[in-house]
Amino acid sequence: MATLPLFSFTSAPAVMAAGQGQPPSGPIPIVDPGVDLAKKTVCIKVRVSTMGNTRKVSTSQIEADADKDLLRVSKHLLDSAELKAINRFDGEIRRFLYNICLPFEVGIHLLPIAALETVEQRLRQFAADRGQLVAAFLAAYPSLRELAQARLRTLYNPADYPPAEDVERQFGFSWQYISFGVPEQLKGISREVFEQEREKAAQRMAEASSEIQLVLRETMAKLVQHMADRLQEGTDGKPLRFKETTVSNLVEFLSNFEFRNVTDDTQLQQLVSQARGLLQGVYADDLRTVGSLRARVHQSMSDIAGQLDAMLTKAGRKFRFEEGHAA
Protein backbone atom coordinates (compact mmCIF):
# COMPACT_ATOMS: atom_id res chain seq x y z
CA MET A 1 0.00 0.00 0.00
CA ALA A 2 1.37 3.40 -0.97
CA THR A 3 2.23 5.77 1.85
CA LEU A 4 0.13 8.92 1.78
CA PRO A 5 1.58 12.39 2.34
CA LEU A 6 0.67 14.18 5.54
CA PHE A 7 -1.45 16.63 3.56
CA SER A 8 -2.68 16.48 0.01
CA PHE A 9 -4.89 19.42 -0.91
CA THR A 10 -6.15 20.39 -4.33
CA SER A 11 -4.74 23.82 -3.66
CA ALA A 12 -2.08 24.67 -1.13
CA PRO A 13 -3.22 26.80 1.80
CA ALA A 14 -1.92 30.30 2.23
CA VAL A 15 1.56 30.44 3.74
CA MET A 16 3.15 33.45 5.42
CA ALA A 17 6.36 34.57 3.81
CA ALA A 18 9.45 34.08 5.90
CA GLY A 19 9.97 36.95 8.31
CA GLN A 20 6.64 38.57 7.40
CA GLY A 21 5.35 40.90 10.12
CA GLN A 22 5.56 40.48 13.85
CA PRO A 23 4.23 37.50 15.85
CA PRO A 24 0.47 37.79 16.37
CA SER A 25 -0.42 38.73 19.90
CA GLY A 26 -3.36 39.23 22.24
CA PRO A 27 -6.89 37.88 22.19
CA ILE A 28 -9.13 38.42 19.18
CA PRO A 29 -11.76 41.11 19.84
CA ILE A 30 -15.28 39.72 19.43
CA VAL A 31 -18.23 42.09 19.56
CA ASP A 32 -20.50 39.60 21.34
CA PRO A 33 -18.53 36.39 21.91
CA GLY A 34 -21.30 34.66 23.86
CA VAL A 35 -23.95 35.09 21.18
CA ASP A 36 -21.42 34.29 18.45
CA LEU A 37 -20.39 31.07 20.16
CA ALA A 38 -23.99 30.00 20.83
CA LYS A 39 -24.80 30.32 17.13
CA LYS A 40 -21.89 28.12 16.07
CA THR A 41 -22.06 25.32 18.63
CA VAL A 42 -24.45 22.93 20.34
CA CYS A 43 -24.06 21.30 23.74
CA ILE A 44 -23.65 17.54 23.80
CA LYS A 45 -23.55 15.36 26.88
CA VAL A 46 -21.88 11.97 26.52
CA ARG A 47 -22.12 9.25 29.15
CA VAL A 48 -19.74 6.28 29.17
CA SER A 49 -19.95 3.77 32.00
CA THR A 50 -18.27 0.46 32.64
CA MET A 51 -17.94 -2.23 35.25
CA GLY A 52 -15.79 -1.33 38.23
CA ASN A 53 -12.98 -3.85 38.44
CA THR A 54 -11.50 -3.12 41.86
CA ARG A 55 -12.68 -3.53 45.42
CA LYS A 56 -11.17 -2.52 48.72
CA VAL A 57 -9.67 -5.27 50.85
CA SER A 58 -9.94 -5.19 54.61
CA THR A 59 -6.51 -4.80 56.16
CA SER A 60 -7.53 -7.53 58.64
CA GLN A 61 -7.07 -9.95 55.73
CA ILE A 62 -3.54 -8.73 55.04
CA GLU A 63 -0.38 -9.60 56.92
CA ALA A 64 2.09 -6.72 56.92
CA ASP A 65 4.84 -5.41 59.14
CA ALA A 66 3.32 -1.92 59.14
CA ASP A 67 0.68 0.21 60.80
CA LYS A 68 -2.46 -0.94 59.03
CA ASP A 69 -4.14 2.42 59.61
CA LEU A 70 -1.76 3.73 56.97
CA LEU A 71 -2.57 1.02 54.43
CA ARG A 72 -5.15 1.08 51.65
CA VAL A 73 -5.41 -2.26 49.89
CA SER A 74 -7.49 -3.16 46.86
CA LYS A 75 -7.91 -6.16 44.58
CA HIS A 76 -8.75 -6.62 40.93
CA LEU A 77 -11.89 -8.65 40.42
CA LEU A 78 -11.08 -9.93 36.94
CA ASP A 79 -7.97 -10.31 34.83
CA SER A 80 -9.75 -9.82 31.53
CA ALA A 81 -8.35 -8.96 28.13
CA GLU A 82 -11.93 -8.30 27.02
CA LEU A 83 -12.48 -5.72 29.75
CA LYS A 84 -9.17 -4.05 28.98
CA ALA A 85 -10.23 -3.82 25.33
CA ILE A 86 -13.40 -1.99 26.39
CA ASN A 87 -11.40 0.43 28.52
CA ARG A 88 -9.02 1.14 25.64
CA PHE A 89 -11.98 1.70 23.34
CA ASP A 90 -13.52 4.12 25.82
CA GLY A 91 -10.23 6.00 25.72
CA GLU A 92 -10.59 6.27 21.93
CA ILE A 93 -14.08 7.73 22.36
CA ARG A 94 -12.83 10.33 24.82
CA ARG A 95 -9.90 11.20 22.59
CA PHE A 96 -12.22 11.63 19.60
CA LEU A 97 -14.45 14.00 21.57
CA TYR A 98 -11.41 15.88 22.90
CA ASN A 99 -10.12 16.48 19.37
CA ILE A 100 -13.49 17.42 17.86
CA CYS A 101 -15.36 19.25 20.61
CA LEU A 102 -14.47 22.30 22.65
CA PRO A 103 -14.17 22.82 26.43
CA PHE A 104 -17.22 23.87 28.42
CA GLU A 105 -18.87 22.56 31.59
CA VAL A 106 -17.80 19.31 33.27
CA GLY A 107 -19.47 16.44 31.43
CA ILE A 108 -20.70 18.72 28.62
CA HIS A 109 -18.92 19.39 25.35
CA LEU A 110 -19.43 22.24 22.92
CA LEU A 111 -19.79 20.67 19.50
CA PRO A 112 -19.24 22.88 16.45
CA ILE A 113 -22.42 22.73 14.38
CA ALA A 114 -20.32 22.21 11.26
CA ALA A 115 -19.18 18.86 12.68
CA LEU A 116 -22.53 17.68 14.10
CA GLU A 117 -23.42 15.15 11.39
CA THR A 118 -19.90 13.72 11.36
CA VAL A 119 -19.88 13.33 15.14
CA GLU A 120 -23.35 11.81 15.21
CA GLN A 121 -22.36 9.16 12.68
CA ARG A 122 -19.14 8.42 14.52
CA LEU A 123 -20.91 8.08 17.88
CA ARG A 124 -23.38 5.63 16.36
CA GLN A 125 -20.48 3.57 15.05
CA PHE A 126 -18.79 3.75 18.45
CA ALA A 127 -21.98 2.46 20.05
CA ALA A 128 -22.18 -0.50 17.67
CA ASP A 129 -18.50 -1.41 18.04
CA ARG A 130 -18.61 -1.04 21.81
CA GLY A 131 -21.66 -3.28 21.96
CA GLN A 132 -19.64 -6.05 20.30
CA LEU A 133 -16.80 -5.63 22.79
CA VAL A 134 -19.22 -5.78 25.71
CA ALA A 135 -20.83 -8.92 24.26
CA ALA A 136 -17.40 -10.57 24.03
CA PHE A 137 -16.70 -9.71 27.66
CA LEU A 138 -20.05 -11.06 28.84
CA ALA A 139 -19.42 -14.30 26.97
CA ALA A 140 -16.13 -14.72 28.82
CA TYR A 141 -17.51 -13.55 32.18
CA PRO A 142 -18.41 -16.99 33.67
CA SER A 143 -14.95 -18.43 33.03
CA LEU A 144 -13.29 -15.21 34.22
CA ARG A 145 -15.24 -15.42 37.46
CA GLU A 146 -14.09 -19.01 38.03
CA LEU A 147 -10.50 -18.03 37.34
CA ALA A 148 -10.78 -15.14 39.81
CA GLN A 149 -12.00 -17.51 42.51
CA ALA A 150 -8.98 -19.75 41.96
CA ARG A 151 -6.50 -16.88 42.00
CA LEU A 152 -7.94 -14.74 44.80
CA ARG A 153 -8.55 -17.69 47.12
CA THR A 154 -9.54 -16.31 50.54
CA LEU A 155 -10.00 -12.82 49.13
CA TYR A 156 -12.67 -14.05 46.72
CA ASN A 157 -16.11 -12.73 47.59
CA PRO A 158 -19.08 -14.09 45.56
CA ALA A 159 -21.00 -10.88 46.22
CA ASP A 160 -18.49 -9.03 44.02
CA TYR A 161 -19.63 -11.05 41.02
CA PRO A 162 -23.31 -10.44 40.19
CA PRO A 163 -25.14 -12.34 37.42
CA ALA A 164 -24.15 -11.50 33.85
CA GLU A 165 -27.40 -9.65 33.18
CA ASP A 166 -26.66 -7.30 36.09
CA VAL A 167 -23.11 -6.79 34.89
CA GLU A 168 -24.37 -5.92 31.41
CA ARG A 169 -26.40 -3.03 32.82
CA GLN A 170 -23.21 -1.47 34.19
CA PHE A 171 -21.99 -0.86 30.65
CA GLY A 172 -23.56 2.24 29.19
CA PHE A 173 -22.89 4.54 26.27
CA SER A 174 -25.31 7.33 25.40
CA TRP A 175 -25.34 10.91 24.25
CA GLN A 176 -27.84 13.73 24.01
CA TYR A 177 -27.91 17.24 22.66
CA ILE A 178 -28.96 19.74 25.30
CA SER A 179 -29.68 23.43 25.39
CA PHE A 180 -27.73 25.91 27.42
CA GLY A 181 -29.73 28.92 28.46
CA VAL A 182 -32.48 30.14 30.76
CA PRO A 183 -35.82 28.32 31.10
CA GLU A 184 -38.52 30.48 29.54
CA GLN A 185 -40.96 29.69 32.35
CA LEU A 186 -38.79 31.79 34.67
CA LYS A 187 -39.99 34.86 32.79
CA GLY A 188 -43.55 34.25 33.94
CA ILE A 189 -42.47 33.67 37.54
CA SER A 190 -39.97 36.47 38.05
CA ARG A 191 -38.80 38.83 35.36
CA GLU A 192 -35.94 39.94 37.58
CA VAL A 193 -34.66 36.40 38.14
CA PHE A 194 -35.03 35.65 34.44
CA GLU A 195 -32.91 38.67 33.49
CA GLN A 196 -30.29 37.80 36.10
CA GLU A 197 -29.99 34.23 34.83
CA ARG A 198 -29.89 35.34 31.22
CA GLU A 199 -27.01 37.67 32.04
CA LYS A 200 -25.19 34.83 33.82
CA ALA A 201 -25.67 32.54 30.82
CA ALA A 202 -24.38 35.20 28.44
CA GLN A 203 -21.34 35.77 30.66
CA ARG A 204 -20.63 32.04 30.82
CA MET A 205 -20.72 31.75 27.04
CA ALA A 206 -18.42 34.76 26.72
CA GLU A 207 -15.97 33.15 29.16
CA ALA A 208 -16.21 29.89 27.22
CA SER A 209 -15.35 31.74 24.01
CA SER A 210 -12.20 33.19 25.56
CA GLU A 211 -11.25 29.81 27.05
CA ILE A 212 -11.74 28.02 23.73
CA GLN A 213 -9.45 30.45 21.96
CA LEU A 214 -6.74 29.94 24.56
CA VAL A 215 -7.12 26.16 24.58
CA LEU A 216 -6.77 25.94 20.80
CA ARG A 217 -3.70 28.15 20.88
CA GLU A 218 -2.15 26.18 23.72
CA THR A 219 -2.91 22.85 22.05
CA MET A 220 -1.27 23.89 18.80
CA ALA A 221 1.67 25.37 20.71
CA LYS A 222 2.32 22.08 22.44
CA LEU A 223 1.95 19.96 19.29
CA VAL A 224 4.20 22.22 17.22
CA GLN A 225 6.84 22.51 19.94
CA HIS A 226 6.85 18.74 20.45
CA MET A 227 7.34 18.15 16.73
CA ALA A 228 10.11 20.75 16.56
CA ASP A 229 11.84 19.10 19.51
CA ARG A 230 11.70 15.63 17.98
CA LEU A 231 13.07 16.82 14.63
CA GLN A 232 16.31 17.99 16.25
CA GLU A 233 19.56 16.11 16.25
CA GLY A 234 20.63 14.33 19.42
CA THR A 235 23.84 14.92 21.34
CA ASP A 236 25.46 12.25 19.16
CA GLY A 237 24.66 14.25 16.02
CA LYS A 238 22.07 11.73 14.84
CA PRO A 239 18.39 12.61 14.29
CA LEU A 240 16.16 11.93 17.27
CA ARG A 241 13.56 9.21 16.84
CA PHE A 242 9.94 10.26 16.88
CA LYS A 243 6.67 8.37 17.06
CA GLU A 244 3.99 8.43 14.39
CA THR A 245 1.74 10.28 16.85
CA THR A 246 4.21 13.18 16.89
CA VAL A 247 3.10 13.86 13.34
CA SER A 248 -0.44 12.45 13.32
CA ASN A 249 -1.60 14.44 16.36
CA LEU A 250 -0.53 17.70 14.75
CA VAL A 251 -2.04 16.70 11.41
CA GLU A 252 -5.33 15.88 13.12
CA PHE A 253 -5.38 19.25 14.86
CA LEU A 254 -4.71 21.09 11.60
CA SER A 255 -7.36 19.07 9.78
CA ASN A 256 -10.04 19.75 12.40
CA PHE A 257 -9.21 23.40 12.95
CA GLU A 258 -11.56 24.91 10.38
CA PHE A 259 -14.77 23.88 12.12
CA ARG A 260 -13.29 24.12 15.63
CA ASN A 261 -12.33 27.74 15.09
CA VAL A 262 -15.68 28.98 16.40
CA THR A 263 -14.07 32.15 17.81
CA ASP A 264 -12.84 33.23 14.38
CA ASP A 265 -9.25 33.40 15.60
CA THR A 266 -7.65 34.84 12.47
CA GLN A 267 -4.21 35.00 14.04
CA LEU A 268 -4.18 31.30 14.87
CA GLN A 269 -5.74 30.55 11.47
CA GLN A 270 -2.73 32.22 9.88
CA LEU A 271 -0.33 29.93 11.73
CA VAL A 272 -2.45 26.88 10.95
CA SER A 273 -2.26 27.77 7.26
CA GLN A 274 1.48 28.18 7.56
CA ALA A 275 1.86 24.74 9.17
CA ARG A 276 -0.37 23.16 6.55
CA GLY A 277 1.64 24.70 3.75
CA LEU A 278 4.83 23.43 5.37
CA LEU A 279 3.52 19.85 5.52
CA GLN A 280 1.79 19.92 2.12
CA GLY A 281 2.75 16.76 0.23
CA VAL A 282 5.29 15.69 2.87
CA TYR A 283 5.61 12.01 3.70
CA ALA A 284 6.21 10.93 7.30
CA ASP A 285 9.11 8.69 6.29
CA ASP A 286 10.78 11.61 4.51
CA LEU A 287 11.07 13.41 7.84
CA ARG A 288 13.12 10.47 9.07
CA THR A 289 15.35 10.01 6.05
CA VAL A 290 15.69 13.29 4.14
CA GLY A 291 18.05 15.47 6.13
CA SER A 292 17.40 18.73 4.29
CA LEU A 293 13.62 18.36 4.59
CA ARG A 294 13.89 17.45 8.25
CA ALA A 295 16.04 20.51 8.94
CA ARG A 296 13.68 22.82 7.05
CA VAL A 297 10.57 21.52 8.81
CA HIS A 298 12.34 21.69 12.16
CA GLN A 299 13.32 25.33 11.64
CA SER A 300 9.86 26.32 10.43
CA MET A 301 8.12 24.51 13.27
CA SER A 302 10.44 26.23 15.74
CA ASP A 303 9.52 29.59 14.19
CA ILE A 304 5.79 28.83 14.50
CA ALA A 305 6.29 27.66 18.09
CA GLY A 306 8.00 30.95 18.87
CA GLN A 307 5.10 32.95 17.45
CA LEU A 308 2.59 30.90 19.43
CA ASP A 309 4.64 31.37 22.58
CA ALA A 310 4.63 35.12 22.01
CA MET A 311 0.87 35.10 21.52
CA LEU A 312 0.27 33.20 24.75
CA THR A 313 2.76 35.25 26.75
CA LYS A 314 1.23 38.56 25.68
CA ALA A 315 -2.24 37.18 26.45
CA GLY A 316 -1.02 36.61 30.03
CA ARG A 317 -1.10 32.85 29.86
CA LYS A 318 2.26 31.45 28.94
CA PHE A 319 1.89 27.79 28.07
CA ARG A 320 3.80 25.16 30.02
CA PHE A 321 4.59 22.40 27.58
CA GLU A 322 4.60 19.63 30.15
CA GLU A 323 0.85 20.11 30.66
CA GLY A 324 -2.13 19.03 28.62
CA HIS A 325 -2.69 16.33 26.08
CA ALA A 326 0.45 14.32 25.47
CA ALA A 327 1.48 13.62 21.90
Q: Higher model confidence: residue 217 or residue 10?
A: 217
26 conformational bin, left if phi > 0, alpha if psi -120 to 50, beta if neither: left
Cβ burial of 217 (10 Å; 0-12, 13-18, 19+) is: buried
Distance between CA atoms of residues 316 and 44, nearest Å: 30
Residue (of 245, 267, 258) closest to 325 by Cα position: 245
Residue 326 has pLDDT above 60, yes or no: no
302 CB-near residues (< 8 Å, 6+ apart): 228
The distance of Cα 130 from the centroid of its chain, to the nearest Å, equals 19
Q: pTM of this prediction?
A: 0.79
Question: Residue 43 in contact with residue 104, Cβ under 8 Å?
Answer: yes
Cβ burial of 58 (10 Å; 0-12, 13-18, 19+) is: exposed
Q: Which pLDDT score, from 0 to 100, does residue 14 have?
A: 35
Q: Give a yes or no: residue 76 inside a domain.
A: yes
DSSP 219-278: HHHHHHHHHHHHTSB-TTSSBPP--HHHHHHHHHHHHHHHHH-TT--HHHHHHHHHHHHH
Q: Is residue 32 very low, low, confident or very high in pLDDT (cuts 50, 70, 90)?
A: low
- Could you give the 3-state DSSP secondary structure of residue 170? coil
Q: Give a yes or no: residue 7 inside a domain.
A: no
Domains held by the chain: number: 1
Residue 10 has pLDDT above 70, yes or no: no
Q: How many residues does the chain have?
A: 327
Q: Give a yes or no: residue 156 inside a domain.
A: yes
Q: Give a yes or no: residue 63 inside a domain.
A: yes
Cβ burial of 292 (10 Å; 0-12, 13-18, 19+) is: exposed
Q: What is the mean pLDDT of the chain?
A: 85
Question: Residue 293 in contact with residue 5, Cβ under 8 Å?
Answer: no
- pLDDT tens figures, 102-123: 989 888 999 999 999 999 999 9
Residue 108 burial (CB count, 10 A): 15
**Is the Cα torsion angle 292, 295, 297, 299 positive or negative in sign?**
negative
Q: Give a yes or no: residue 211 inside a domain.
A: no
Distance between CA atoms of residues 28 and 268, nearest Å: 10
Average pLDDT over residues 253-273: 95
Q: Which pLDDT score, from 0 to 100, does residue 2 have?
A: 45
Distance between CA atoms of residues 90 and 122, nearest Å: 13
Interhelix angle 116-152/81-100, rounded to 10 degrees, is 150
- pLDDT tens figures, 121-164: 999 999 999 999 999 999 999 999 999 999 999 999 999 999 99
Q: Give a yes or no: residue 240 inside a domain.
A: no
Q: Give a yes or no: residue 43 inside a domain.
A: yes
Containing structural domain, residue 116: 39-178
Whole-angstrom CA distances from 282 to 36, 83, 239 are 36, 39, 18
Residue 12 has pLDDT above 80, yes or no: no
Q: Give a yes or no: residue 162 inside a domain.
A: yes
